[in-house]
Amino acid sequence: MSNYSASGQQRLFVLGFVALMVWGVTTTYERYRGTELSRVPSTTRAERPTPAARVSYERRYETKANDGSVSTFDDDRPYSADPSVLIERPDDSILRPLTDGLEIYPSVQKGMRTPFDLWRYYGRGVSSFSSPVLPMRFDQWLSYHRKQKPALMRDVYAYMDSRYDFDRGAIPGAFMSGGKPIMAGPIARLKGVASFEALAKLSPEEIRERDLFPYKPLAHPIQSTAHMVFPDEWVVAHPEHERIDVDMDFPPEYLPEFPPPLFLTTHKELGDVSNGHEITLDNHYDMFDGLLTPEQMEGLKELLRPSPTTWFNHTDHRITEQPSKGVACMDCHVNGHTNGAFELGPDARPHMARLRVDTPTLRGNYNLMQLSSRRSIRSLDHFSEVEEYFDGDPGMMQAIGPRAVKREVSNRMADFNAIVDYPPAPKLDPLGRLIPEKSTEQELRGEALFKGKAMCSQCHHGAGFVDDQMYDLQVERFYVGRPEGPIKTFPLRGIKDSPPYLHDGRLPTLADTVEFFNLVLQLGLTEQEKDDLEAYLLCL
């Protein structure tokens, strides 16, 4: 053996072995990716069938001669009526994946930290179906998060601070419907460019190339579990919803007021029917008996009744220290509005591909023909039925405990949902136009911009300032990231009450929203015009 060891033969043998291993692993990887076990989608397109293999188009034109013989066309006729003309195959680049510069989702288990820049990743999951089993014992789960949470939250706050300047203060004299000050903006931090005006002069390609875009998506701080993250103000009032793994990443000043006022289409004369209280299962009967129909009352009760969810429940598969009764619809949609809690949209798999979504308000839902971000749900009844908080996985519902809202009950929930009104907008006339006598010059200029140069009204029009369409803003033109696809237009009526904006809350203020659309739609608005537009949005 020692002679052999000293010889060059061994080196040759080892060299061959190494080459074989490299070839073997590489080949195996190509065969493995795209299989049901792999998180890496195959990017190899199947070979297009050759014209000869396409068959039968020609065979329909079989002709039978007098002598009984059958002649068929046997050429590339589908591509050209004239066989002498060679038709170029169409460019199939639009069929190819848009994954350049993206990475495969990291391998994580439930509870593990995930990148804050999840938009840079893509891939498929091992399964569409989840499991109600933790990757460890529950006491280990608790100690795991006790260790992880402080470091995670330090990093979350540092990350948010790197993206936004949360010290800009409020807009003087601007308040939400219930009196909470509205924060000034834009607060997104710019890097590598002096101003938003300078940024807007650059092309999408240049912004992408120089990595200057300040409004990249926001990910859930811990996407491996994700689920609802409640604002600090809510958690103080409802400590049963304090999570062991993560807290809210936005300061309370940049979230909707708590509790928000509730306006009913059926009792406009009463103004805020909540009178400053949070409506709960305990107090709703006293507050609404004699004001609602029995059907609406039943619906309201159901909206207030907690139900076990994927992570708020009585089993070990939870992110609360103590077993939880669950979450009610109106724990996020407080008083028919929103408290700014966020979740993941249940509309996609793998779990890592789900987009962070802020809780939208229920106000004015009666005007919407399309609900739920990317799911395009077409009725309030259907919406009430599918918002089960099992993250789009009915199998989890089976394991954790049935919510199992029956159709007649979900219909009642929709009955109440359908009378939650927008907040008053005293400066708007019945057609949603500013009343000149009640408006400032700046607000009127903003309205003109809204309907003109800024092109807002192209999507935001009508009673709810919404068109019930889904649009793909193609924001990935401005950064290297996974395309988010079409998302429904959000109603702008009462918009001042529901920061932060866009589906994932990446736009903390109205001013950031204006800057975002100025960039994305390449509007070329001046600083004055942007201020005018913001002033107008505060009137809606």
Partner 1 sequence: MRGRNANGTDTATGHGASEPGEPEIKPVYGPPTMLRLSAGYVYFHFGILKLFPDLSPAELIAGEAITRVSFHMLDMSTALFILAWMEVLIGLCFLFDFQLHRVFYLFLFHQAGTFAPLVILPELAFKFAPFAPTMEGQYILKNVVSVAAGLTVLLPVVRARGKAKKLARQRRRDAGAPPTVTPEVAR
- Using CB under 8 A, list all residues that contact partner 1: 1-2, 4-6, 8, 10-11, 14, 17-18, 21-22, 25-26, 28-29, 32-33, 38-40, 103-104, 106-109, 112-113, 115, 123, 135-137, 140-141, 143-144, 151, 155
CB of 29 to partner 1, least distance (A): 5
| Of 216, 227, 218, 224, the residue nearest 352 (C-alpha) | 224
Exposure class string for 494-508: b at 16+ Cβ within 10 A, else e: bbbbbbbbbbbbbbb
Q: Which of 139/269 has CB closer to partner 1? A: 139
CB of 480 to partner 1, least distance (A): 14
506's CB contacts (< 8 A; 6+ apart) are 215, 216, 217, 218, 500, 516
CB of 163 to partner 1, least distance (A): 17
From CA 536, how far away is CA 443, in angstroms rounded? 5
Percent composition of the chain: helix, strand, coil (DSSP 3-state, to 5): 35, 5, 55
From CA 133, how far away is CA 396, in angstroms rounded? 10
From CA 359, how far away is CA 156, in angstroms rounded? 20
Q: Which of 117/232 has CB closer to partner 1? A: 117
80's CB contacts (< 8 A; 6+ apart) are 86, 87
Q: Which of 25/133 has CB closer to partner 1? A: 25
Q: Which of 29/61 has CB closer to partner 1? A: 29
Q: Which of 14/291 has CB closer to partner 1? A: 14
DSSP assignment of 468-528 equals: --EE---GGGGSSS-----EEPPP-TTGGGS-SBSTT--B-SHHHHHHHHHHHTT----HH
**Which residues sit opposite 371 in a β-bridge?**
377
CB of 5 to partner 1, least distance (A): 5
Q: What angle do CA 6, 9, 13 make, to 5 degrees?
A: 120
Residue 55's SS3 state is: coil
CB of 151 to partner 1, least distance (A): 8
CB of 96 to partner 1, least distance (A): 19
CB of 7 to partner 1, least distance (A): 8
| Of 214, 236, 227, the residue nearest 479 (C-alpha) | 214
From CA 139, how far away is CA 226, in angstroms rounded? 20
**Which residues sit opposite 64 in a β-bridge?**
70
Q: Which of 99/442 has CB closer to partner 1? A: 99
Tokens of 303: 């909206």
CB of 122 to partner 1, least distance (A): 11
Q: Which of 17/57 has CB closer to partner 1? A: 17
Q: Which of 124/503 has CB closer to partner 1? A: 124
**To which residue do tokens 């304090």 refer?**
242
CB of 104 to partner 1, least distance (A): 4
| Of 501, 510, 514, 497, the residue nearest 450 (C-alpha) | 514
56's CB contacts (< 8 A; 6+ apart) are none
CB of 352 to partner 1, least distance (A): 12
| Of 319, 395, 405, 328, the residue nearest 362 (C-alpha) | 328
